[in-house]
Amino acid sequence: MFKEFIKGNEAIAKAAALAGCTQYYGYPITPSSEIIHAVADYFPKFGGTFVQAESEVAAINMAFGAAACGKRVMTASSSPGISLKQEGVSYLAGAELPCVIIDIMRAGPGLGNIWPEQGDYHQIVKGGGHGNYKTIVLAPNSPQEMCDFTILAFELAEKYRGPVYVLSDAYTGQVMEPVIFPDEVKKEKRQDWAIYGDKESSGNVVYSIQMNTVEQEKVNLRLDKKYREIEKCEARYEEYLVDDAEMIVVSYGISSRIAHSAVDSLREEGFKVGMFTPKTLWPYPVNRLKQLSEKCRSFAVLELSNGQMVEDVRLTVEGKRPVDFYGRMGGAIPSQEEVIGVFKDFYNKY
């Protein structure tokens, strides 16, 4: 293991190389551009392929081609650029091709601005492209998790043969912290479904079109079976001071760091507040959240959005407990003091 003081975005690029990624296709957009800059520096040094495509649409289709050839491939962008990639993401899911996609969220809608927001939740978690598909979504809140979750994303993409998102934000991408990287550099493995241009793979075909309605339904049912397996096995979360909590705060990404500090301060003042942080936004950790709803009296959700993840919290607890929401938008980040005041109001309501 080696430690480096590094930006979250740059940690992603280095982690991808350590995970065995040899192909990167992207287009620069703030606040994700450090990723493409770092990849342009790292990848040629070990013989990897880096291409700055002419557009986000071109980049995701180049990633499709590389994935079809059995390569570990990554692309990255920020909110408006991710929107342009969505058709390609659906194609990757339909063809069951592993690919890691990084979204460093910025404020919207439209061009918005370059400051952090969490307004892409619906687009990414609910599937921004067409058709019946789902993607695993990992939600880091630190440069260390940017590293760890990028490596994990490649493992999950190959295990389940599909695109995997790492969903982060402008602040987490820009912050610099110590990151411990693994020493091991993983290697690509030959995939029995991929197209290598040799005799052994000559019978392989990669496609997502099914003109027969019965066959298309069979494909969707098979994919659904895979998605149920992912829901069963891959839900991840962290919890903090929940055992005696009367109110549990639910938050992810950069918001969870603000919420965590607020919970500590409220505990010092005698408020029985705990914290639940989903690390996978899909599959959402519904089973554990349901268990917690039997113990606490209310939930509070903090997001940098108009209220998107809060819908999944409310669906999960099924009306058994009240769920209050506080959000900021446009790149505005609430202060710890602001959040403490809001949480006190929520706590005292019940």
Q: Could you report the per-residue pLDDT of 239-266, keeping only the tens digit for each?
A: 999 999 999 999 999 999 999 999 999 9
pLDDT of residue 103 exceeding 90: yes
pLDDT score, position 249 = 98
Alpha-carbon span 133 to 217, nearest angstrom: 13
For residue 30, the SS3 value is coil
Q: Which residues pair with 261 in a beta bridge?
A: none
Same domain, 180 and 71: yes
Compute φ and ψ for 8, nearest 5 degrees: -60, -45
Considering the chain, what percentage of its residues have pLDDT values greater than 70? 100
pLDDT score, position 57 = 98
CATH number at residue 333: 3.40.50.920
Same domain, 28 and 167: yes
- Scored b (16 or more CB within 10 A) or e, 127-145 reads bbbeebbbbbbbbbbbbbb
Same domain, 105 and 28: yes
On the question of a cis peptide bond just before residue 278, with omega within 30 degrees of 0, the verdict is no
Same domain, 41 and 161: yes
Alpha carbon of residue 13 to chain centroid: 15
pLDDT score, position 90 = 98
DSSP string of 125-159, one letter each residue? HTTSSSSS---EEE---SHHHHHHHHHHHHHHHHH
Same domain, 118 and 247: no
pLDDT score, position 250 = 98
Same domain, 138 and 34: yes
Residues 6 or more apart whose Cβ sits within 8 Å of residue 72: 19, 20, 21, 22, 23, 98, 100, 154, 158, 188
Q: Could you report the per-residue pLDDT of 22-45, keeping only the tens digit for each?
A: 999 999 999 999 999 999 999 999
Same domain, 301 and 316: yes
- pLDDT bracket for residue 222 (50, 70, 90): very high
- pLDDT bracket for residue 223 (50, 70, 90): very high
Same domain, 184 and 76: yes
pLDDT of residue 316 exceeding 90: yes
What angle separates helix 253-268 from helix 336-348, to the nearest 10 degrees? 70
pLDDT score, position 20 = 97
Same domain, 218 and 252: no
Among 181, 205, 233, the domain boundary falls at 233
pLDDT score, position 149 = 98
For residue 13, the SS3 value is helix
Same domain, 82 and 94: yes
Alpha-helical (H) ranges within the chain are 8-18, 33-42, 56-68, 79-95, 121-125, 143-160, 170-174, 213-233, 253-268, 286-293, 309-317, 336-348
Considering the chain, what percentage of its residues have pLDDT values greater than 90? 99
Domain count, the chain: 2
pLDDT of residue 221 exceeding 90: yes
Among 233, 257, 272, the domain boundary falls at 233
- Scored b (16 or more CB within 10 A) or e, 91-118 reads bbbbbbbbbbbbbbbbbbeeebebbbbb
The whole domain housing 53 covers: 2-233
Same domain, 61 and 165: yes
pLDDT of residue 127 exceeding 90: no
- pLDDT bracket for residue 1 (50, 70, 90): confident
Give 316's Cβ-side CA count (13 Å radius). Answer: 23
Among 198, 233, 268, the domain boundary falls at 233
Same domain, 212 and 250: no
- pLDDT bracket for residue 162 (50, 70, 90): very high
CATH number at residue 188: 3.40.50.970
Residues 6 or more apart whose Cβ sits within 8 Å of residue 43: 17, 22, 24, 49, 50
Alpha-carbon span 164 to 157, nearest angstrom: 6
